[in-house]
Each structure stands twice: as structure tokens, then as C-alpha cells.
Structure 1
Amino acid sequence: MTSPAPGASWLLDLSRLLARAHEAVPTGIDRVEFAYARYLIEHASADTTFCAMHPLGRVGGVESGLANAFIKALGAYWTGGVGQPPVGLRDRIRRALVWRRPMARPGATYLLVSHHHLTRPKAIARLLRQTKCRFVPMIHDLIPTEYPEYARPREPARHERRLETVARYASGVIVPSEDVRDALCRRLARSGRSIPVWTIPHGVDRQTTSGPGPTLDHEITRRVAGRPYFVCLGTIEPRKNHLLLLHVWRRLVAEKGENAPVLVLIGKRGWENENIVDLLDRCPALSDHVIECNSLPDQTVRHLLVNSRALLFPSFVEGFGLPLAEALSLNVPAICSDIAVFRQIGGSIPDYRDPLDGIGWRSAIMAYASTGLGRTAQIGRLANWSPLTWDESVSMALSVM
């Protein structure tokens, strides 16, 4: 791993983790903020302080001992299903934010690796004046401004305010992919400021597929038993192109009947998805071949992935694509959209299909459902693929600042 410059210090914002501490399953952005917190606690604790946004709109300091205890408890709950959500620790931290000033060495880097409170430029400006820090946020994507048709109605304007804050105050920006970097550089060019933008791909936690898997829900076990199945992982929303998969599956059931493979959808229902929901709720042909799981613990998701025929990832656009990196790290084949960010992650490993090519997706799915040569060949290619770990990703980010 690369190392940060000697004398570097950090002020890490924990606002998103505090806001999400009650959730049983972390989102992708939750995982990013958690990975940075865990790394800094384990590898740079003497050079790291913490802060967070109080619900009333002021950034306050977080005592290091409380931050360490909170991250440890949250990690045990999210990754191992141990204990209860650390809402008690969260509430203690939040109460102290009212009076505790954020502390940092002069010249430290204020890291905000979620989009949390980028819409509050005055609060960020006040923090930078108080601490004399330089500001390095992470921008995960520009989808709301580049592809507003996939965003909730108010989100494009909100994201534009985030980008205005970055353009005005940031000393540098971290992004997870070259696609995001290109879009952000175009946006920053309009501001007249020259700001470094560093592409640091997200990592994965090293996983093991040995040992007994978790006990699956009886209904899932019954419906996948003895049948090939595929996994699609992510929020159910139009951008992720679930509609294509559901139409493909309806055709497969019509053609193959009980011999059609099973599709396991793992993710909460999102927004602007009425057509998708209608198929899930009202299409009889899909009722025995599509399993919808609102959210599942990480161990269960890994178990389902490892025993699946492949991950399916037909998105139109992504800022990164953690499910793809996680699947490949488990030696699970993937069939995914032929978009640049997925090629950045997977290189020549996955099988790529145009996200509008329903016939191509159907053919690939049926080939992978059997002992097809394509799946065998991809498993062979996976032997030469090495995932970037979260520690490596965070270390890379800290070393370039």
C-alpha cells in the first residue's frame, strides 16, 4: 500500500454514518464512509480527528474515543450481524455536537466522503475558517445533473448546489471512476477554478467462500432449490434497468415453463418505478421465478452470490458499481452492461451486453443457466483478476492529497 505524506493529518466527517446507524444494511455510500473511518482509526489514529453535522445545521467535533467505539460497534452490526444498531452511541455523539468544537491541526485535510451537507456551503465555510483545514470531498457521481431523467424531481437542483459548494471551497476532489472524473472536470471548468480531481476506485473487503454459509430464509431456499438462479443487486429503479430483466424473464417462463431459471432481486424499491412494480406485483408468470428481497445481510448476499450462475448488472449508467467488484472478488461470473465504468472495474473478465439488447441478455442468461462454455471461460479469466481492497483504496486516496 502507498502511504500518506509525512505529517499529514485528517478531519473525517462522520455525518452519514451517524444518520444511517439505525439501518440494518449499509448502502454503497455508507460502505465508503465506513471504510475511510475504519482505515484512519486502524492506521492513522494519532493523526485523525472527527466531526459531524448536527441536525440543527452546525458542524461539531466528535471525541475520538466515542468515534472509535461507534465505528467498532457499527462494523460489528453491519458486517457480522453482532449486537444492536449503535444508536445510543450515535445519540451521545449528536448531543455533544452542540457545544464541542471541531479540532484539527492547521493544514489538516477535511474529508467529506459522502454527499452529506454539501448543500450547506455556509456550514462548510464556517468549519474551514475555524479549523484552517483544506477541503477534499468525494463526488460519487453526477447522475442527477447529467441524467436528470433518472433522478427524483428535486435532485438535479440539489446536486447542482453540491457541485457549486465543491467548486467554491474544495482543494481537491476524489471520484471513483474516470467517467465521473470527466463529467466533474467539465462542470468545474465552468467555475473558472482549477481543482485536482483524483480517480480512486472503490475497494472491497477480502472475502472467503469457505465454511458453512448462513441459514437462508425458508422461502428463498424453497424457491431456488435445485434450480439455476441469477442475482441482481441494487435499488429497484429505472436507471438500473430491472425492466429489461423482468421482460426477459417473462419470455423465459413462457418458453421454458418450470425449467426457466430463477431471478433473485436484492434491493429496496426506489422511485419512479411504477412499471417495474406492476410486473413484480401483478404478473402471474413471474410469481414463481422472480424472488424480491427488500434487503439482506451481507453474509446472506454473499452466500446467494457464490451459489448463483452469475451476477446480472444491466444498468444504463453508474458512478461506480460495487456489486460488480464484490461479485468478481468472490469469483462469481458477471453479465453486465457494456458501459465504461464497468470495463474500468472488470476489464476483460465479465460478459458485456448493451443495456438495450434484450435478445443478447436472454441468450447470455440461458447459456449461463446451463454448463455453457461462456460461464466456464469467465471463471477461468477470474483466476487472473485481483480485487482492490478497501485498505488499498483508502491508502491510495490519502497518498495523493
Structure 2
Amino acid sequence: MTRPVLFDASRLVSRNSRSAPTGIDRVCLAYAEWLLAMPSVDLIPVRGRRGGLVAVDRIWFGDLVRDVRERWNGDRAVYRPQDHALDLALRMPLDQRVALREESPPDTPPKKSARRLAAAPRLLASRRLPPLSAGALYLNAAHTGLEDDSILTTLGDAGVERVVLLHDLIPITHPEYCRPGDDQKHRRRLNTILNHADAVIVNSRYTGDELRRFAAAENRRPPRTIVAHLGVEDVFRQRPASTTAPTLPYFLHVGTVEGRKNLAFLLTIWSRLAEVMGEAAPQLVLVGSHGWESEAVLDHLERSPRIQKLVHHVAGVGDDTLMQLMAGARALLAPSSVEGFDLPAVEARTMGVPVIASDIPVHREVAPDAVLVDPIDGLGWLRAIQAAVDAPAAQAARFSPTWDGHFAVVGAALDLPGRATDRA
């Protein structure tokens, strides 16, 4: 007997044209693949519309998920920007190195799935939800549609179990790193969860602790909480067969370029490295799209001649390319002021790549063997990076959470028996 599961596909539908995923995008894709492959699930993809939910064509949604996986998974990527330019930049002499520039994707004939996805306006036309019965499950992995309680209230009235994955409380605990108004928007989401969710999945014990603190401040009790660390994609469980050593060592940061990532601070460290090490200064590769308040980082990159030939920023990098960049790096750098999980740090740890990270609760939880430095300790970061240049640490690959493990925890907690039969 199958169980009806309404999966909120709003985020995947809205971001299907992206060439590379954010962390939340990865989670939504993993959940979609899991549910599509579950024999015990009658999947009903839904999206938000005018304060309610409409059904999404399941065949179209399956095509979308496969197309997104092919685009985001590097070994099958249709386009991986700057692979060759980045490779060249890390191997040519210092005086010939130039800042990387965005490239346009080549023209390629659309595949069958891409042609089907182009028919989105027709396939996404409003479709009435099938009759809902007690025992059905609604699953939201992306915070979408929770700014008011209309969706969860309607589902609750129909006897549907409502489960939300909470990624973090950063807009509430650290509003200075978010767009104005995001704190109030997230507060409304959290109150919707506290009022109407039957269970909440959290990606770390830290996120669960923050949820309990928020609930206590609101004189409320949180719903049943399921702690399940996010999984690492299989590509990060291997190393490239051969890697040509770069002319100079480089370090890697992966994540959206935004205030809480502490990258302006990191570039100040790099300016100091350039001053004290001269031509022996290491490279820094920033992988990620621009986010809120990235101007300080852009100012450094555009106006500081000291670091212009040392720091490279790229976006839209496929997983295979990212894995190769991690494999060749002296260390992954994670200087964030706050995180809900930090998937890149876990990915690097999985590969045995050293991690230098800010000493914050979530890093102590998910990367306890990293070199942990206070996020505002400039001299500490300088010393840690110089030590990694001079004597790179050889580390064995570490055990890390898998998506199968994540879904085993979630499936058991939500009474979704059985295993996925063909999850990518």
C-alpha cells in the first residue's frame, strides 16, 4: 500500500535553469529523487499559488529532476564555465595570471527532456489537487510558502501530516547578514512551523538547539524534531585518478558570496599574505554566486592590485569540477560567522582535504577535526593558512553522512517504509 506524499516542488520549479546548485537546492533535489524512487510513495508534486497549492504534472516533474541532475552533476554537465581558464590560471606564471571572467555557455541542441521542460507554461497550469485523506503527508524542504499559515492550515484541516525541513534561523539570530525584512519574514515562517507543523527536520543539532531557543522565547513548544545531517553527493567520495599539481598552492572557498561568509575578512588576510610572501603567496579560488551585500568582496577584487592576480572568483561550477578543485587545494577555507550546516566543509572532510574553519558551534559538530579559528582572529587565520602552505597536512578521508543515511532516519520517523529503488 502506498502513502500519498505532497512534495513542495516550488523551489526546484523556480530554479531549474540554474547551472549549479546552492546548498538548499541540493537538498530539494535529493528529496525529489528519493520520493520519486520510493515504491511506498504515491508522489504528488505541488507548488504554491495564491496562498494555496496546485499540483504539478508528475511526468514533467520527473523530467525536470533528471535534467537538473544532469546539469548539476559535473560529469554530465551541459556546460561548466571556466574549467579551462581556471586550470590555466592556477598553472601559469604569476606575471601572466589574470582575473577570470564569466563566459557564455555554448549553443547546444536541446535534449528531449529540455524540450519537454520548455513546455512548462502548459504543464504548470493550475491543476486541482486530488482529494486528500488522513494519512497523506506534506513535505516542504525549502522554507517556501510558510510566510503565512494558509497552506499548513488547509492541509491540517484535511488531516494531512505536515513536515518541514528547517535549514537555519540565521535571519532571526543574525539579521545583520540578511536583507532588510528577512528577519520578520523568517519569524513568520517559524511561527507557522510552531503553530501548524506536525514535525520538523533539522540539518544539525545546532539548528535544533536554535529552534528550541526561539520557541522558548515565544513561550511555545517546538513540534517533534528529527535531527538528520545532510548527505554528501557520491562524487565527493572519490578523488580524481590523476591531478596535475598547480604551479603555486591554492586554497578554496565554496559558497554564496555574502556577508555572513566573512569573505571580506578573508581577502584582507590574502592581502597580508601577498605582502609578506610576495610571489610565493598562495592562490585563493572562490566558488559561488553573488548574494546579499557582496559589494565589499567585489571592491577588494576590483580595486586591490595586491590580490587581483591571486584571487579568482567563479560561478556555475559542476560537481565534478568542484571535486577536482577540492582535491588539489591545500585546504578548504570556511571562515563563516554563522552556518546552519556547512555542506562544503563536510564534502572536503569526506575527501580527506584539510579544512580550516571558523570556531562556531556547527563546525565543531560537523567538522570536529578541522583547524578551528575564531572568525575574527586575523593572526590566527594568517598562521593557519601559512602553515598549510608550508607543510600541507596529509589526511585520510573521513566518514561523512550519506543521503541514504539521512533518508533512513527521516523515512523511519515519518513512517515511509521501504528503500528507494533507483535514486540518482
TM-score (norm 1): 0.87
CA contact (8 A) 2:260 2:336 kept: yes
Choose which of 107, 110, 121 in structure 1 pairs with 2:138.
110
Paired residues, what number?
377
Q: Does 1:371 align with 2:391?
A: yes
CA drift of 1:244 comes to: 1.9
Q: Which residue of 2 aligns with 1:275?
A: 296
- After superposition, the Cα gap between the structure-2 partners of 1:201 and 1:360, relative to the gap in structure 1 and judged at 3 Å, is same
Q: Does 1:58 align with 2:52?
A: yes
Q: Which residue of 2 aligns with 1:69?
A: 63
CA distance in 1, matches of 2:162, 2:125: 20
- After superposition, the Cα gap between the structure-2 partners of 1:95 and 1:41, relative to the gap in structure 1 and judged at 3 Å, is closer
Choose which of 10, 16, 19 in structure 2 pairs with 1:21.
16
1:138 aligned counterpart, secondary structure = strand
CA contact (8 A) 2:155 2:162 kept: no
CA drift of 1:154 comes to: 1.4
CA distance in 2, matches of 1:247, 1:30: 30
Q: Does 1:397 align with 2:410?
A: yes
2:166 aligned counterpart, secondary structure = coil
Q: Which residue of 2 aligns with 1:35?
A: 30
Structure 1: which amino acid aligns with 2:77?
G
Q: Does 1:183 align with 2:177?
A: no
- After superposition, the Cα gap between the structure-2 partners of 1:188 and 1:251, relative to the gap in structure 1 and judged at 3 Å, is same
Q: Does 1:362 align with 2:345?
A: no
CA contact (8 A) 1:60 1:102 kept: no
CA distance in 2, matches of 1:68, 1:105: 24
CA contact (8 A) 2:2 2:42 kept: no
CA drift of 1:93 comes to: 7.7
CA distance in 1, matches of 2:45, 2:267: 44
- After superposition, the Cα gap between the structure-2 partners of 1:267 and 1:87, relative to the gap in structure 1 and judged at 3 Å, is farther
CA distance in 1, matches of 2:190, 2:365: 24
- After superposition, the Cα gap between the structure-2 partners of 1:323 and 1:28, relative to the gap in structure 1 and judged at 3 Å, is same
Residues 11-32 of structure 1: CA distance to partner in whole angstroms, max 9, x if unpaired?
A: 2111110011011111100110
Residues 334-363 of structure 1: CA distance to partner in whole angstroms, max 9, x if unpaired?
A: 11111111121122x211111111111111
Choose which of 172, 192, 200 in structure 1 pairs with 2:199.
172
Q: Which residue of 1 aligns with 2:230?
A: 202
Residues 280-330 of structure 1: CA distance to partner in whole angstroms, max 9, x if unpaired?
A: 110000011111113312221111111111100001100110111111122
Residues 78-157 of structure 1: matches in 2 within 5 Å? 78-79=72-73, 80-82=76-78, 86=114, 88-89=116-117, 91-92=119-120, 95-102=123-130, 106-130=134-158, 132-157=159-184
CA drift of 1:103 comes to: 5.6
CA distance in 2, matches of 1:86, 1:27: 21
Higher relative contact order, structure no. (Cα contacts within 8 Å, ≥ 6 residues apart): 2
- After superposition, the Cα gap between the structure-2 partners of 1:365 and 1:55, relative to the gap in structure 1 and judged at 3 Å, is same
CA drift of 1:256 comes to: 1.2
- After superposition, the Cα gap between the structure-2 partners of 1:359 and 1:340, relative to the gap in structure 1 and judged at 3 Å, is same
CA contact (8 A) 1:206 1:329 kept: no
In structure 2, list runs of 5 or more residues that go unmatched: 79-109, 415-424
CA contact (8 A) 1:61 1:103 kept: no
Choose which of 230, 249, 262 in structure 2 pairs with 1:228.
249
CA contact (8 A) 1:176 1:320 kept: yes
- After superposition, the Cα gap between the structure-2 partners of 1:90 and 1:168, relative to the gap in structure 1 and judged at 3 Å, is farther
CA distance in 1, matches of 2:411, 2:177: 32
CA distance in 2, matches of 1:102, 1:91: 23
Is the deviation greater in 318-327 or in 89-98? 89-98
Residues 266-345 of structure 1: matches in 2 within 5 Å? 266-345=287-366
- After superposition, the Cα gap between the structure-2 partners of 1:97 and 1:186, relative to the gap in structure 1 and judged at 3 Å, is farther
Residues 38-82 of structure 1: CA distance to partner in whole angstroms, max 9, x if unpaired?
A: 11222x244232232244443112343333232222212221314
Cα-Cα RMSD? 2.4
Q: Which residue of 2 aligns with 1:49?
A: 43
CA contact (8 A) 1:229 1:262 kept: yes
CA drift of 1:7 comes to: 6.8
- After superposition, the Cα gap between the structure-2 partners of 1:195 and 1:55, relative to the gap in structure 1 and judged at 3 Å, is closer
CA distance in 2, matches of 1:103, 1:303: 48
CA distance in 1, matches of 2:122, 2:139: 19
CA contact (8 A) 2:6 2:46 kept: no
Percent of residue pairs identical? 34
CA distance in 2, matches of 1:122, 1:389: 34
CA distance in 2, matches of 1:47, 1:314: 40
- After superposition, the Cα gap between the structure-2 partners of 1:258 and 1:94, relative to the gap in structure 1 and judged at 3 Å, is farther
CA contact (8 A) 1:35 1:394 kept: no
CA distance in 2, matches of 1:120, 1:52: 17
Residues 243-254 of structure 1: matches in 2 within 5 Å? 243-254=264-275
- After superposition, the Cα gap between the structure-2 partners of 1:203 and 1:360, relative to the gap in structure 1 and judged at 3 Å, is same
CA distance in 2, matches of 1:90, 1:11: 24
CA distance in 2, matches of 1:127, 1:66: 24
In structure 1, list runs of 5 or more residues that go unmatched: 1-5, 214-220
